[in-house]
Chains A and B, each alone.
Chain A
Amino acid sequence: MKRLATMKKSTRNNLFTYALVIAAFVVVQALRVGPGIGSMLEGQLIPICAYVTMALALNLVVGISGELSLGHAGFMSIGAFAGSAFAMALQDSVGLSPLRLALAMVFGALIAAVLGFLIGIPVLRLNGDYLAIVTLAFGEIIKSIATNVYLGMDGNGLHFSFLNDTMDLSDGGVELIRGPMGVMNSQRISTFIAGFVLVLAALTIIFNLVNSRTGRAIMAARDNRIAAESVGISVTKYKMIAFVTSAALAGAAGTLYGCSQTTFVATRFDFNTSILILVFVVLGGLGNMWGSVIAATALTILPEALRQFSELRMLVYAIVLILVMLATNNPTLRGFFTRLFRREREGADAGVRAVKGGGGHE
């Protein structure tokens, strides 16, 4: 019974997160069917899902495996470009748009995962902040490459060129990626429901991974590298699993985002975006998934909601951010919440305390 009460804490947290996401989805869907939620929010729904997934993915790296990535927008970019190009290429062969979106997401995730793996090979063998430096560079490199790629498709198959548009597409050919112009995607196949499914899938993958032999090894490598190695855990391998999983989720989120826009360019996924995602994670709490969900949602809506302040918008945004950070770290407020929650946990914790006290006197 004591074990149940304490074991439940993480399970309870997970269930709360699922409930939060499902409840938000149900409420929003009900409002959309009924009175409507306003065009501003309506347009933000899919980006919110994409950014929530990004925050969850980054939290797996930063919170669970304890490494810092400053280039997660790079993986999102890869997912967006690869995924939407893939979706456009499949336009004729796969008619059903949800299926096409799903295939595109898998493709975007796969490409992002492969690149994540390649980055991880040299970097994750090192101990320290090297991942932050390398991912920072990676994000910039991806941005430069994506700005200069031309990809097209015609009757003869795929055409690819770099720096200059030399594709020479035959009649009826489609330009998929046009260098600095980015992707011009006439078909917007992403839906809010697809975004919701992706968020749920990300949550399931992360929770199931964390609460398993693999997840325990990842956390062991984070908490104490030397101790983890002393019990036979290959630290590099498990940091890699966390990083590649995260890159794949970021790629899928990128595809969702890319397929929701009529057009987007590579500079959309720059260093600022990477930092923004990191802010979601830090604000929501390291390793705290429901925190990431709420932070990503709130901070995606906030800039839009602040449009009335026009040029003061980013100033107000920054002030709100600072106030929230101060409030969540305020000892008085924390004490208040601890007291509030303590009452319901009292029964469970008293048992553990009694046993611990007894242990000390042995």
Chain B
Amino acid sequence: MSNKRPETKLVPVPSVNKIPERDVDKSPILEAQHLGIDFGGLTAVNEFNMAIGRTEIAGLIGPNGAGKTTVFNLLTKVYQPTRGTILLDGMDTHNMNTVQVNRAGIARTFQNIRLFDNLSVEDNVKIGMHNAIHSGVLSSVLRLPSYWREEKIAHERALELLSIFDMQDLAGAKAGSLPYGAQRRLEIVRALGTNPSLLLLDEPAAGMNPSETAELMENIVKIRDTFQIAILLIEHDMSLVMGICEGICVLNFGQIIAKGTPTEIQNNPEVIKAYLGGGKEA
């Protein structure tokens, strides 16, 4: 319930018991404490506690309707939480809106793709870089040298980001005309354009075939290694989650029912029950 900022923890609390080597001695990038939201009388998420290390890849899984996307919407302030605190790099995001949270370092992709369909692939990435470039209205209208300088930087940076997924040749194509998998990848590139410290991926592998998923897994790890950022992903594809996540958090009916490493989660009876249906004691 408390909205006041707690004292910085000396011992990092990552989402798993095992801290990734790189993040030992560092405070977590994100801490959610007692997070919860009610819609009318319905409690969608309750007592959500999680911490993510600075370069950790964490997974958020659970059956359909468990509240996973709601957690993303809480973290990005699309919904204002009813209870609890979100600390981003130790900073309370209590009074921030979606725009400010993004500027503070959280970027996301969407379960149902939300690209700017009528604009080109390159423009989509440049829109992601909106706060990284600075030309104003006047310098744009008058085409001052600062405009050309900023546009040149933006263009080069956009192509560089697109090259992560080998998409630089598609820069001129309309975003809405891309195949499904490419649209998902473009959303990730656009999110990276905002220069985040935490990237939230909502079902990045949805609709991809096994070989595309395998490639995506490599790329997610590559993004983490290149940009040294934390990634939290929602995914139903267990090969992806178990393959790259260092810590996994399982949500069911808005409550966390398990946390741990992939191996621990796979053997957790609660998780098996949530996914496969009740056992004898249900």
Name A residues whose Cβ lies closer than 8 Å to a Cβ of B: 2-3, 5-7, 204-205, 208-209, 212-217, 219-220, 223-224, 226-234, 241, 245, 352, 355-356, 359-360, 362
Contact = CB atoms under 8 A, between A and B. Distances in A.
A231 B107 contact: yes
Contact of A213 (B76, B140, B171): B140
A202 to B, nearest CB: 11
Contacts of B98: 226, 229-230
Contacts of B182: 356, 359-360
Contact of A233 (B110, B119, B127, B147): B127
B64 interface: no
A232 B194 contact: yes
Nearest to A360: B179
Nearest to B171: A3
A234 B118 contact: no
A62 B118 CA distance: 16
Given A5-B172, A356-B179, A360-B179, 20 more contacts: A3-B172, A204-B141, A208-B143, A219-B119, A219-B123, A220-B116, A220-B130, A223-B116, A228-B127, A230-B110, A231-B130, A231-B193, A232-B102, A355-B173, A356-B177, A356-B178, A359-B167, A359-B170, A359-B181, A362-B215
A224 B190 CA distance: 14
A356 B140 contact: no
Interface in B125-140: 126-128, 130-131, 133-137, 140
Contacts of A217: 127, 130
B108 A230 contact: yes
Nearest to A220: B127
A259 B102 CA distance: 49
Contacts of B99: 229, 232-234
Given A209-B137, A230-B108, A2 B103 contact: no
5 contacts: A2-B169, A213-B126, A224-B116, A231-B190, A352-B170
Given A230-B102, A230-B107, A231-B107, A212 B140 contact: yes
Interface in B79-126: 97-99, 102-103, 107-108, 110, 114-120, 123, 126
| Leading 4 A-B pairs by shortest Cβ distance | A6-B172, A212-B140, A232-B102, A227-B114
Contacts of B150: 213
B154 A213 contact: yes
B38 interface: no
Given A205-B141, A214-B136, A355-B169, A226 B119 contact: no
Interface residues of B, number: 54
Most buried by B among A216, A219, A360: A216
A190 B135 CA distance: 35
A233 B130 contact: yes
Interface string B156-188: 000000000001011111000111011000000
Nearest to A357: B179
Nearest to A10: B120
Contacts of A216: 119, 123, 126-127, 130
A352 B172 CA distance: 8
A212 B147 contact: yes
B212 interface: yes
Contacts of A362: 181, 211-212, 215
B255 to A, nearest CB: 26
Contacts of B136: 214
A231 B150 CA distance: 18
A223 B118 contact: yes
A11 B211 CA distance: 39
A248 to B, nearest CB: 11
Contacts of B211: 362
B191 interface: yes
B1 interface: no
Contacts of A226: 78, 98, 110, 114
Contacts of B181: 359-360, 362
A159 B142 CA distance: 38
Nearest to B128: A231
Given A5-B172, A355-B169, A231 B191 contact: yes
B130 A213 contact: yes
Most buried by B among A209, A215, A241, A359: A359
Contact of A356 (B128, B141, B142, B170): B170
Contacts of B120: 6-7
Contacts of A229: 97-99, 102
Contacts of A220: 116, 119, 127, 130
Contact of A209 (B126, B141, B169, B191): B141
A226 B77 CA distance: 11
Nearest to B170: A355
A256 B151 CA distance: 35
Nearest to B169: A355
B147 A2 contact: no
A356 B193 contact: no
B75 to A, nearest CB: 11
A227 B173 contact: no
B184 to A, nearest CB: 12
Contacts of A204: 141
Contacts of B103: 232
Contacts of A234: 99
Contacts of B193: 231
B73 to A, nearest CB: 10
Given A209-B137, A214-B140, A231 B126 contact: no
Most buried by A among B130, B133, B171, B190: B130
A214 B167 CA distance: 25
B119 to A, nearest CB: 6
Given A216-B126, A230-B107, A208 B140 contact: yes
